[in-house]
Amino acid sequence: MAVTLYRVAAFPVAGNGGNEAGVVLDADTLTDKEMLSIAKRVNYSETAFVMNSERADYRLRFFTPTVEVPLCGHATIATFNLMRNLELIKSDDLRIETGEGVLNVRILEEQVELQLSVPQFGTPIDPQEVADVLDLDKARLLNYPIQTVSTGIPEIFVGVDSSDTLAKLAPDAERIVTFCRKHGAVGIYVFTLDTRTERADAQGRNFIPLVGIYEESATGTASGALASYLYTQGLLRKNQYYFEQGYALFKPSCIHVTIQTDQEHVTDVHVGGRMRFIDRIVGFTPEK
């Protein structure tokens, strides 16, 4: 089986960096095994497969090199930026079927916005347990609850005191996997309000070895969850957020999140970003 593979990156900064994704259009005839094999050879954090849907305008499935995941923000942003540029989209407001249900996508001139699920919050986690997993002095943690938040993918959110602390993190992958399984999360998102640029509200690093990715350079669903966390915990209350990610991987990324609230609770979350085109490979197969 051979497909046409597009390689693109979502959330770049000034045309550089971002998080790479594979995109396969017209994927209806592919089996689960074939999609996983393609994603494994592509070897990006996720590859998106676009299909027809009876419930929405399109159906998207997402595979890491090792497993299928229900939703991927950056791959969705990349896919619909690509489809807009290829003039394959007939409407600016779309509904897409994913493993997280049917979500809305808004197509803008230079970026795409994806609606995420309403945030769900888990119970607080012992800070010392988190510090041990991250091999970090507990004093470096912000004095705010450490908890799982999900806008589609559950992640554990941990605040630290500075950009320097964030940059020096090098946690052990196996310890993260054990910790995340214990708390029902896919990964750990560590953030700081000490940003590199004035525009940004926070910068983060996302460790998700549980699904075969040690660290991701830009994460759409986690950014939506981070905005929800910052608002709900009272660290930073606003309706539009800009987050930095990927600098530790030399892939600078900027993610835009918009939320709506009813004063105390986040009622709607959208993540948005641009795309950087890498290349197009015709006749791509799982085997080299």
Report pTM.
Answer: 0.93
Q: Quote the CATH superfamily of domain 120-272.
A: Diaminopimelate Epimerase; Chain A, domain 1 (3.10.310.10)
User: Which residues touch 194 (CB under 8 Å, ≥6 apart)?
Assistant: 161, 162, 163, 166, 203
Positive or negative, the CA dihedral 179, 32, 99, 216 is positive
pLDDT digits (tens, 9 = 90+) for 220-277: 999 999 999 999 999 999 999 999 999 999 999 999 999 999 978 999 999 999 999 9
27-54 confidence digits (pLDDT tens): 999 999 999 999 999 999 999 999 999 9
Mean pLDDT of 129-156: 97
Q: Which residues are designated catalytic?
A: 46
Q: Report residue 288's pLDDT band, with 50, 70 and 90 as the boundaries.
A: low
> Distance of CA 21 to CAs 73, 212, 278, Å?
10, 15, 10
What is the rounded distance in angstroms from the CA atom of residue 80 to the CA atom of residue 86?
10
Q: Is 51 helix (H, G, I), strand (E, B) or coil?
A: strand
In this prediction, residue 1 carries a pLDDT of 81
CATH 3.10.310.10 in the chain: give the residue spans. 3-115+274-284, 120-272
Note whether 285 and 35 are within 8 A (CB). no
**Backbone φ and ψ of 162, nearest 5°:** -155, 165
CATH architecture of 3-115+274-284: Roll (3.10)
